[in-house]
Amino acid sequence: MKYKTCVAITENNPKRLATKLKKGLKKSDFAEIRFDFFKPKDIPDALELVKNQLQRCVCTLRPKTEGGKFSGSENERKSILKLVAEYNPFLLDIEFETLRKDKKFVKSIKNSKTKILVSWHDFKKTPNLISLKKTLREMKKFSDYVKIVTMAKTVNDATKILSLYNNISKTKLIAFSMGEEAKFTRILCLCMGSPFTYVSLEKAIAPGQFSLDEIRSMS
- Active site residue ranges: 121, 147
d(CA 147, CA 174): 5
Can you name the residues that pair with 36 across neighbouring β-strands? none
Half-sphere CA count of 1, side-chain side, radius 13 A: 11
d(CA 19, CA 75): 30
